[in-house]
Copies of this chain bind each other. A is one copy, B any other.
Amino acid sequence: MSTFTIESTRSGFVESFHVVSAAVVDAEGTLVAASGDPDRVTFWRSAAKPFQSLPLVQDGAADRYGFGPRELALACASHSSEPVHRALAMQMLRACGCEEHQLACGPHPPLSPTVAEEALRTGVVLTPRWNNCSGKHAGMLALARHHGWDPRGYASAGHPVQERIHDEVAKWTGLPRDAFVKGVDGCLAVALALPLRAMATAWARFGISEEPSARRLREAMLAHPELVGGKGRACTDLLMAFRGEVVVKIGAEGVYCAALPRARLGVALKVEDGDARCAAPALLAVLQAVAAQQGIALSLAGLEHHAEPRLLNTRGEVTGTLRAVGELGFA
């Protein structure tokens, strides 16, 4: 069994290590390559957002409320709580006649250290619009409004919004509806647990689908990388650097998913211990191995700090790096 591991080094010596499970599959769900356990079942977290946003487009809510590529990119985002992200989430809420207090998600320190520090320094009160998922939640509220469903409880299991999403996830992953473990995500929305292989199948399909809703979401993410993450964030930088060759979305607890449309492949990975810092180095290692095998040129130029982040001590000196070792096993 081939496995990628992310090593954390100190003064050139391996101090800690993180095991990576990954599945690379084609649009039919056939396993093409793997690291560790490609059948590992875990929560999809925010790497499910494009699929959670499909009903919003498909059912006509996005058109009704005037959501263009920017709003759709934000619905798929784990944003950095930058002013542009907060303003756009509020605009989405207003467009569908909702208010901020209706968002089920709670505030949290922004994912961008810069934004987080500024928020603390200025003493601003963090509200739900600051949640990295506020775009997704605004989209869920819009879906409820569009269908005339009571928006209360829209994020909880059993609500028509979540049922609608659940159907869509079953369709794209090819899993039966009762195959999912239901949990509560950090933002209070339903989180679904499923095998990495099924997540990768959905992503492979998402990367090449000509279904208008999928195409619009995919093109929105590619057109507005700055809204999918934020300044300096891995998703934003990767979407920009790979210029349409790869569509990516990170999830919490070490999850990262991607589509390589030209190769008709999908990727889903989990850093087994959930370390968020290792997700981007792991994804880039998998993408490089897959691209090389498929004959796709995928340059890491400008992405070195995501591929091999440097670790600093309290004097700002580099003590080591996070680096991928091992290899992907091809079927």
Contact = CB atoms under 8 A, between A and B. Distances in A.
A101 interface: no
A120 interface: yes
Interface string A14-45: 01111100000000000000000000001100
Contacts of A273: 16-19, 273, 275
A244 interface: no
A176 to B, nearest CB: 18
Contacts of A42: 15-16
A186 interface: yes
Interface residues of A, number: 46
Given A15-B274, A104-B315, 15 more contacts: A8-B253, A10-B183, A10-B184, A13-B193, A15-B43, A16-B272, A17-B272, A106-B313, A106-B314, A117-B120, A120-B120, A184-B313, A184-B317, A187-B313, A188-B315
27 contacts: A8-B274, A10-B184, A10-B191, A11-B184, A11-B191, A12-B183, A13-B43, A13-B183, A13-B193, A15-B274, A16-B272, A16-B273, A16-B274, A17-B273, A18-B273, A106-B313, A107-B314, A108-B314, A120-B120, A120-B121, A131-B314, A183-B319, A184-B319, A185-B313, A186-B313, A188-B315, A273-B275
Contacts of A275: 273, 275
A185 to B, nearest CB: 7
Top 8 nearest A-B pairs (CB, nearest first) are A11-B183, A16-B274, A106-B314, A106-B315, A273-B273, A120-B120, A108-B314, A10-B183
